[in-house]
A and B are shown apart, each in its own frame.
Chain A
Amino acid sequence: MSKKIGVFVCHCGTNISATVDVEKVAEETKKNNPRVAYTTTYKYMCSDPGQKLLRDKIKEEGLTGVVVAACSPKMHEHTFRNAAVKTGLNPYHVEISNIREQCSWVHPDIPTGTDKSIDLVRMMTEKTRKDKSLTAIKVPVTKRALVIGGGIAGIQAALDIADGGQEVVMVEREASIGGHMAQLSETFPTLDCSQCIMTPKMVEAAQHDNITMYTWSEIESITGYLGNFDVKIRKKARSVDLDLCTGCSSCWQVCPCKKIKSEFDMGIGNRTAIYIPFPQAIPSKPVIDRENCILFKDARKKNIKPNDSKVCRKCIDACPIAPVKAIDYNQEDEIVDVKIGAIIVATGFRELEDGLYGEYGGGKYEDVITGLQFERLASASGPTEGKIKRPSDGKEPEIVVFIQCVGSRDPAKGCSYCSKTCCMYTAKHTMLYKHKVHDGHAFVFYIDIRCAGKSYEEFSQRAIEEEGATYLRGRVSRVYKKGEKLIVLGADTLTGSVVEIEADMVVLASAMKAQDDAEQFAQKLSIQYDKDKFFSEMHPKLKPVESSSAGIFLAGTCQGPKDIPETVAQAGAAASKVLALLSSDELEREPVVARVDRQLPPVFSTCIGCFYCQKVCPYSAIESEDIKARDGSVIKTVARVNEGLCQGCGLCAATCRSKSVELEGFNDEQIYAEINALEFN
């Protein structure tokens, strides 16, 4: 039976209709296309009345296929398919012809864009003619979530899921959870102590019955699919047995290697080789830094097992645990396998390396520090116990210059984007400084002040008006050392004058960057990332926490710069998505899966069983099946697709020489029809 296809051409306000003659597209399609029974145009197809129009016409006209000529299918394919479902039409008879992103927005010439639109609509009506009814695939769900990253995003997400009654596995590559938020002194716009609000959450996560925590651990591999991921976690050798250790501190107090720069303190404080990153660390149990520990160095040099080295055994000797010590020099990495239903990626950010801005003396002058270093200086639990002392000589700086947008909004050297938090934290820094050094003076160089959050503008005004920070609109061209002072050369574009400030310390509001290994990590997870290596959300507006891979969600700064409230909100959103997912025993998946030909006897299948499909399948979704006669003898061995594993890439279909494998939704007839509708000849 031939299909009755309806074509709905959307104006998209004027987004489409300004450069594509939508009426002509509808008219021509109706006039010339023998497959099309009905056409119309509408201002906003995706709006409620638009969707109602679609539903009404499907019913009134008895449409059995629908093409919506509108924006990219990535925007509203789902919307229109859902609308169709309400009329009883199988959603897979609805296709989108992308005449906005591919026509109206890129081809300003009206006749050209219109002609192209007509072509694209024709191609899609032909495809639609061959659309088949498909049924969503049901797969069982493993009721356990994986949260990757133990910063505020990961902790919040894990807690929300765990409180929702589902199991969570949390993986953190550092020795303690906490992330960057644990490093902060106070937080804007309320100036409450970061540690004070963070630590209870860390403890709660650690003690939650539903949360299993792996610190000093990394993701080795992730395979499988939505609802059924197989995850391998590498527990890096900590050299300390977490079950035995009580965190008594005896070991790190005796460690002779005391001059190792503390990562947690951003290099302005020191730690030992066996250490906990910070006093409130969770777990509060140490790890041995095998790079710097003299015992391990010795063992590497002599090529012996670490435990056989006798150079220094102070920590193990100090360990009060008996009879088996909690320290195990020979401990090795361990791989843990877990089954997971859904994943939240919360791997965070890193700060732009300070050496990049040589003209600001970053990495050259000790007293030019980054925002995070200033946080450590200002933190009560930091290396200076919250006293603002400049790193070079420990003097209290009388004049501090804060430079904003270091790296951010600078496509030439850093990143084209705005790091979003720096305006606020710089304002906070000036306040913290002024609170601690009452007669000190804070200068801020800025391009624009962006304080769009709730109470943010007021906060930043307070820094200027109440705390007396001097804000100068302009960029700094150079920072150089003159005696003990740092000379900051900049411009004040409001007065049009050149400014020269003799500062004691300079704080660079460095950009938030994607993690160094973000690209490799994204590849490991098969998720998309953007040009700056931040992980891409499925849709910038409507699917902000979904990654491009089903069942993998994003939270926090791994997706882009954001502040704490936003991160927590996103983490909660991601957690609610995961909870929704884990709330059902079975999941429905898009039925875009491959199928191997099956027929009645005597053919059974056109598949000849060469199993090239099996060899190319990235998901091991192709199995072999013996087609047997009644007496049990094998007539033919052919391929079969496990639709639970199949992700619908179509690799098998294109590899099969006899075209005995086809991909539902993009089957041979559909693609053929699309090509056939080119009508170039």
Chain B
Amino acid sequence: MAEETKFEPRIVAFLCNWCTYAGADLAGTGRNQYQANVRVIKLPCTGGIDPLFLIKAFERGADGILVSGCHPGDCHYNSGNYHARRRWNVFRPLLEFCGINPERIQFSWVSAAEGGKWVETINGVVDTVRALGPFEGYQKINAVGSDASGEAATSGDTG
């Protein structure tokens, strides 16, 4: 892995179509600048985000993830965000228990009218993750899979 002079966190944002994606559009319309570290993946609803998406994003090298959708009560699909919230209520502590800093997975409610909040949120995530540094734990295990030696991943004592 090339040594970078300055660490720029790589952030993936999973956004719901109706609120946060539209909020991000509004930030664009308002020409509100924010840090460019984020790559957005749009889904109809936060309720449609499977935790596997998040794991895969880490496997593909994300240093931080943002999941963002409609405020409670505002879900375009009535209750999608409520179900999503339940999911994250258990998934987040699970990752934390496995030694993943919960700050690397952040959640927010950003409505279609909150372009400003989108800017604030994404800058917040970028700054937080920048302070945390690269996600070394995952970088290591991502690299092992493509390591020449299968044995590196084999015995119980390769630490």
Contact = CB atoms under 8 A, between A and B. Distances in A.
Is A in direct contact with B (CB under 8 Å) within the complex? Answer: yes
B148 to A, nearest CB: 16
A649 interface: yes
Which residue, B29, B61, B87, has most C-beta atoms of chain A within 10 A? B29
Interface string B79-98: 11001100100000000000
B39 A651 contact: no
Contact of B74 (A72, A105, A523, A651): A523
Given A106-B31, A650-B47, A680-B62, A123 B76 contact: no
30 contacts: A98-B25, A101-B25, A101-B27, A101-B29, A105-B29, A107-B34, A113-B36, A115-B36, A119-B39, A519-B73, A528-B111, A529-B113, A530-B113, A536-B112, A618-B77, A648-B44, A649-B45, A649-B80, A650-B43, A651-B48, A651-B83, A653-B48, A653-B50, A654-B87, A666-B44, A666-B48, A675-B41, A678-B39, A680-B61, A681-B60
Across the A-B interface, the 3 shortest Cβ-Cβ residue pairs: A650-B48, A680-B61, A101-B28
B24 A101 contact: yes
A528 B114 CA distance: 12
B44 A678 contact: no
Given A72-B25, A653-B50, A681-B142, 16 more contacts: A74-B25, A101-B25, A112-B36, A116-B39, A120-B39, A123-B39, A526-B77, A530-B113, A616-B47, A648-B44, A649-B80, A650-B44, A650-B48, A654-B49, A655-B83, A666-B43
Interface residues of A, number: 55
B28 A674 contact: no
A102 interface: yes
A523 B73 CA distance: 6
Contact of A663 (B44, B112, B113): B44
Contacts of A674: 41
Interface of B: 10, 12, 18-19, 21-22, 24-25, 27-29, 31-34, 36, 39-45, 47-50, 53, 56-57, 60-62, 73-80, 83-84, 87, 111-114, 119, 139, 142
Contact of B50 (A115, A536, A654): A654
Contact of B28 (A100, A112, A123, A618): A100
A123 B33 contact: no
Contacts of A680: 10, 60-62
Contacts of B77: 526, 618-619, 647, 649, 651
Contact of A526 (B39, B40, B78): B78
B43 A671 contact: yes
Interface in A578-599: 592
Given A106-B27, A676-B60, A618 B79 contact: yes
